[in-house]
Chain A
Amino acid sequence: MTEQVVVAPLLSALVAAVLALLLRSYPRLQRGVSVLGGLAYGAGVLFLAARVAADADRRLVYQVSDWTAPFGISLIADPLSVLMLGLTAVVSLAALVYSLYFLDREDARLSYHPLYHFMILGVTGSFLTGDVFNLFVWFEVMLMSSYVLVVFYSGAEQTRAALLYSLLNLVGSAVMLLAIGGLYATTGTLNMADMARRLAEPAAYGIDPAPVLGISAVLLSVFALKAGIVPFQFWVPAAYEAAPEPVTAVLAGVVKKVGIYAIVRLYFMVFAAASVPVSLPGIGGDSFLSFFGPVLFVTAAASILLGGVGALGQDRMAGLLAYSSIGQIGFVVLPLAVAATAPEFRVLGVTAALVYAINHGLAKALLFLVGGAVRAGTGTDRFADLGGLAGREPVLAGSFFVGGLALVGIPPLTGFFGKFLVFDIAGRAGSTAGLAVALVGAVFTIAYVTRAWNRGFWGEAGPSVAASTRRPALVAVVAALAGLIVLLGVGFDPLYAAAENAAEAALDAEGYVSAVDPTTAAEATADAASGTNGGGHS
């Protein structure tokens, strides 16, 4: 059973990238094709989401070249992929339209639009693939484009930031390749569904789970690097300050979430099935997740604290937002950490992480775009030179206010529900440390958002603000994104339902396996049924 619709978002991004590359001598046409590509991508995601929702199993599988599951590459669209693709579609379209009016047209003519769509293609592939090595390839597609986009302005600061960003990620890619080779050597498969099935009964396939645990820990460091979690956060501020703001909006809003997605997909589904017969000090239970729970908790707590302290000390808006996204990613990982150690709250924890990830993706993209509009209008984003923007640019200031409040977590914005769910899961699981970290992080968030607001938007207008030019197109995009955040917060139910669906789908390894590889799964079920007369599922 093959569902071609799964490749729709991939194809639209690929076609847009290739056409934009071919049309680089016709700038007007190129821009038109690029925006059309963004719209087509959104339509593809919407269509895919409708098909997934209509499917009885809620999973659509496309076997590339019709090679059957454990041998070929499978692309799987399930509620988790669709939710992340929805975030990608919204953020990437907003940032794309914004960049048309933000970037110098001559600068953007050659490489910006093709690379932008290739980056989105890499993100999309990472969300859809069901094969570990294929995940590596999509990561590379995404990273190669992002290296060039980070160095886009190619000044002194940008070349330095891009060199560090790319070298770090190149080492990360080598480590990822090593870990994938190790996984193949120990489990004998690269297909995520097949791996989950084998790890669930390691003895039957002759797998020793202990090395798998070590290799999966190595792999976690790569995903932590992509997500910018402490101690792998050091590339974040330089790269985010160097890249043009629309690119940073996508990097912070979407590309970071690919790391989070990979953690949810691999650690909460594929590796969750395995158990290790070793006891480590301070770790209860014998599941892989009870090992990763404390690890994730420490990194999340460190991210929240470091991001908060770092953001308070910044004198530029881009720097403040970059450090803030380190802290906010900690808030995404925190419920995952709690959920990993407390199996009974797993669905709730993953739901909380996904809601927070969506909220952060939208709010941080909005804030970076506001920062770009401020810089384009006044020529600076240093707090020392700003002030009084609220009187001069009320719509822009209002949008920043909405984005800031969404980060802080004020009802009725999505951020409130994100924060609420994080506190809720920490409270329910009885994690005092989790509550304390979240509380301190929330105070930090309030502090740096207030600081940015007071110094940037209130007070006397400085000379650069008084002499600022209006950029109505940029403000319109930003206001539209702010409106979306308010709408999603007021009508929160659909987002929550989608996140909960995604969490349930992410944790349901059995359903995933039988969707990807129905024949082998049916055989396994038949074996189990003949032996124990039970254990079957539709």
Chain B
Amino acid sequence: MTEFVLAVTLGLLFGLGTFLVLRRDVVRVVWGVAIISQAANVYLVTVGVGTTGGAGAPILGHGHAGEAAVADPLVQALVLTAIVIGFGTTAFALVLTFRLYEEHGTIDLDGIAGSEGDGAAGTGTAGDGAADAGGSR
């Protein structure tokens, strides 16, 4: 039963994440990526639960049903690492979204893609790059 509930939850989380990633709004895309990486973390935890589902804390002298009834602590350590990394990357992606809004005046992905075409046709981007390189030294 636990397995079934976890599987459905995971499926819903991945579905929601994928749905959000495919939006045009950059903030929603960032949320989608965050949800997908959290879903991956949940998946990792379920790996350690085992088939019995009733897993106790892996503390010496705590469990009394043998090692089969103990959750695998390794995946929990992995998830801790992954959460820290995910925290950093999500924060960075949000800051980048803000910078994107400052530069383009929109967080609509289509609007941003359009401005690239303008930049390539006009001289805006080239002048920008030239100023950067010329200003160095």
Of B40, B43, B44, B116, which contacts A157 at CB under 8 A?
A: B116
Instruction: Decide: A137 near B47, CB < 8 A? Known: A163-B100, A166-B96.
Output: no
- Dominant SS among interface residues on chain B: helix
B4 vs chain A, min Cβ distance (A): 17
A345-382 interface bits toward B, Cβ cutoff 8 Å, 1 = contact, 0 = none: 00000000000000000000000000010011001111
**Complex contacts, B21 vs chain A, CB 8 Å:** 167, 171
B118 vs chain A, min Cβ distance (A): 10
- A162 vs B112: C-alpha distance when bound (angstroms): 13
A496: interface (CB < 8 Å): no
**Complex contacts, B40 vs chain A, CB 8 Å:** 174-175, 177-178, 181
**Complex contacts, B66 vs chain A, CB 8 Å:** none
Instruction: Decide: A104 near B92, CB < 8 A? Known: A137-B81, A174-B33.
Output: no
A127: interface (CB < 8 Å): no
- Dominant SS among interface residues on chain A: helix
**Complex contacts, B29 vs chain A, CB 8 Å:** 167
Nearest CB in chain A to that of B100: its residue = A159
Nearest CB in chain B to that of A143: its residue = B89
- A181 vs B43: C-alpha distance when bound (angstroms): 8
Interchain CB contact under 8 A, B89 and A144: yes
A123-149 interface bits toward B, Cβ cutoff 8 Å, 1 = contact, 0 = none: 000000000010011001000100110
Nearest CB in chain B to that of A108: its residue = B136
Of A107, A153, A160, A174, which contacts B37 at CB under 8 A?
A: A174
Interchain CB contact under 8 A, A151 and B99: yes
Of A159, A177, A190, which contacts B99 at CB under 8 A?
A: A159
Interchain CB contact under 8 A, A184 and B119: no
Interchain CB contact under 8 A, B96 and A102: no
Interchain CB contact under 8 A, A167 and B93: yes
Interchain CB contact under 8 A, A155 and B128: yes
- A166 vs B130: C-alpha distance when bound (angstroms): 25
Instruction: Decide: A104 near B136, CB < 8 A? Known: A171-B36, A181-B47, A184-B75.
Output: yes
**Complex contacts, B39 vs chain A, CB 8 Å:** 174
**Complex contacts, A102 vs chain B, CB 8 Å:** 133, 136-137
B126 vs chain A, min Cβ distance (A): 6
A221: interface (CB < 8 Å): no
- A438 vs B47: C-alpha distance when bound (angstroms): 43
**Complex contacts, B75 vs chain A, CB 8 Å:** 181, 184
**Complex contacts, B104 vs chain A, CB 8 Å:** 156, 159-160
**Complex contacts, B37 vs chain A, CB 8 Å:** 170, 173-174, 177
For window 66-90 of B, CB contacts with A under 8 Å fall at 74-75, 78, 81-82, 85, 88-89
A418 vs chain B, min Cβ distance (A): 31
- A160 vs B82: C-alpha distance when bound (angstroms): 26
Interchain CB contact under 8 A, A157 and B119: yes
B37 vs chain A, min Cβ distance (A): 4
- A96 vs B44: C-alpha distance when bound (angstroms): 39
B106 vs chain A, min Cβ distance (A): 11
A185: interface (CB < 8 Å): yes
B61: interface (CB < 8 Å): no
Determine which residue in A103, A171, A181 has the highest number of CB atoms from chain B within 10 A of its CB, and name it: A181
Interchain CB contact under 8 A, B103 and A376: no
A44 vs chain B, min Cβ distance (A): 26
A195 vs chain B, min Cβ distance (A): 14
A93-116 interface bits toward B, Cβ cutoff 8 Å, 1 = contact, 0 = none: 000000001111001000000000
Nearest CB in chain B to that of A161: its residue = B116
**Complex contacts, B82 vs chain A, CB 8 Å:** 136, 177
A471: interface (CB < 8 Å): yes
Interchain CB contact under 8 A, B89 and A156: no
Determine which residue in A140, A156, A175, A380 has the highest number of CB atoms from chain B within 10 A of its CB, and name it: A156
Interchain CB contact under 8 A, B130 and A380: yes
- A380 vs B100: C-alpha distance when bound (angstroms): 24
- A102 vs B43: C-alpha distance when bound (angstroms): 46
Nearest CB in chain B to that of A151: its residue = B96
A450: interface (CB < 8 Å): no
Instruction: Decide: A376 near B136, CB < 8 A? Known: A177-B41, A185-B47, A382-B126.
Output: yes
A315 vs chain B, min Cβ distance (A): 9
Nearest CB in chain B to that of A162: its residue = B96
Determine which residue in B26, B47, B89, B115 has the highest number of CB atoms from chain A within 10 A of its CB, and name it: B89
Nearest CB in chain A to that of B82: its residue = A177
- A76 vs B104: C-alpha distance when bound (angstroms): 46
- A104 vs B136: C-alpha distance when bound (angstroms): 4
**Complex contacts, B88 vs chain A, CB 8 Å:** 144
**Complex contacts, A155 vs chain B, CB 8 Å:** 103, 125, 128-129, 132
- A177 vs B47: C-alpha distance when bound (angstroms): 12
Nearest CB in chain B to that of A373: its residue = B133
Interchain CB contact under 8 A, B97 and A163: yes
Interchain CB contact under 8 A, B136 and A167: no
- A381 vs B126: C-alpha distance when bound (angstroms): 8
- A163 vs B96: C-alpha distance when bound (angstroms): 6
Interchain CB contact under 8 A, A177 and B92: no
Interchain CB contact under 8 A, B103 and A166: no
Of A101, A144, A159, A375, which contacts B103 at CB under 8 A?
A: A159
A154: interface (CB < 8 Å): yes
Nearest CB in chain A to that of B47: its residue = A185
Nearest CB in chain B to that of A153: its residue = B132
**Complex contacts, B129 vs chain A, CB 8 Å:** 153, 155, 375, 380-381
For window 374-412 of A, CB contacts with B under 8 Å fall at 375-376, 379-382
For the complex of A and B, the 4 pairs showing the least CB-CB separation, nearest first, are A379-B130, A156-B103, A174-B37, A181-B44
16 pairs, CB–CB < 8 Å, chain A vs chain B: A144-B88, A148-B92, A153-B128, A154-B103, A155-B125, A156-B104, A156-B115, A159-B96, A163-B96, A170-B37, A171-B36, A173-B89, A175-B40, A181-B78, A184-B47, A376-B133
Q: A170-B33, A174-B37, A177-B82 are in contact. List 15 more A-B contacts (CB 8 A).
A: A102-B133, A140-B85, A144-B88, A144-B89, A154-B103, A156-B128, A157-B116, A166-B96, A170-B89, A173-B89, A174-B33, A177-B37, A182-B47, A375-B130, A381-B129
A-binding residues in B (CB < 8 A): 21, 26, 29-30, 33, 36-37, 39-41, 43-44, 47, 74-75, 78, 81-82, 85, 88-89, 92-93, 96-97, 99-100, 103-104, 112, 115-116, 119, 124-126, 128-130, 132-137
